[in-house]
Amino acid sequence: VDSSKSDSDGEILEATKSRYAGFVEHLKTKLGVVSDVKLTSRLKESPVVLVSESGGFSASQERFLKKIGKAQEGMESKRVLEINPEHSLVLKLRDLHEEKADSPKLQAGIETLYDLALLAEGSKVQDLGSFMKRVQEAVLKGL
């Protein structure tokens, strides 16, 4: 993640917001576990990142509080999913959304994208069996 932003980053995002509006809304609806989905120019090599809402605990802070027994029921905050509009995986999923928004292939891609974001922040994938099946299928298709 590159947290430095130049003036052109904002212009790039403004130019792509309309192209991604439908896809971003689709992600919010289909995932349901994130508080928001936003385009970002911070990411260079990663397709997505999960970030805490303003004032919320980070995933590592939540894990620490659970470990020491200080976590409270319902304390876990929803994350904001930031997507890199220039990443090839995000571009492919956006194109799939434009072709057929109710495609099972698109839904599998969205779920995998979210699971990758969970793994990147050090969290556990919610349905490991499903994740492994999707990854194995993708690898087999790529061989």
| Structural domain boundaries in the chain | 7-142
pLDDT digits (tens, 9 = 90+) for 34-63: 989 999 988 999 999 999 876 665 556 655
| Higher pLDDT pick, 45 / 13 | 45
pLDDT tens profile 17-31 = 889 999 999 999 999
**Looking at the chain, how many residues does it have?**
143
Task: Report pLDDT digits (tens) over 61-120.
Answer: 655 556 666 656 655 677 899 999 999 999 999 999 999 999 999 999 999 999 999 999
What one-character-per-residue DSSP string does the chain give? ------HHHHHHHHHHHHHHHHHHHHHHHHH-SEEEEEE-SS-SS-SEEEEEPTTPPPHHHHHHHHHTT---TT-PPPEEEEE-TTSHHHHHHHHHHHH-TT-HHHHHHHHHHHHHHHHHTTPPPS-HHHHHHHHHHHHHHH-
Domain covering 7-142: architecture: Up-down Bundle (1.20)
**Which pTM was predicted?**
0.77
Which pLDDT score is estimated for 16? 81
Q: Is it the case that residue 8 has pLDDT exceeding 60? A: no
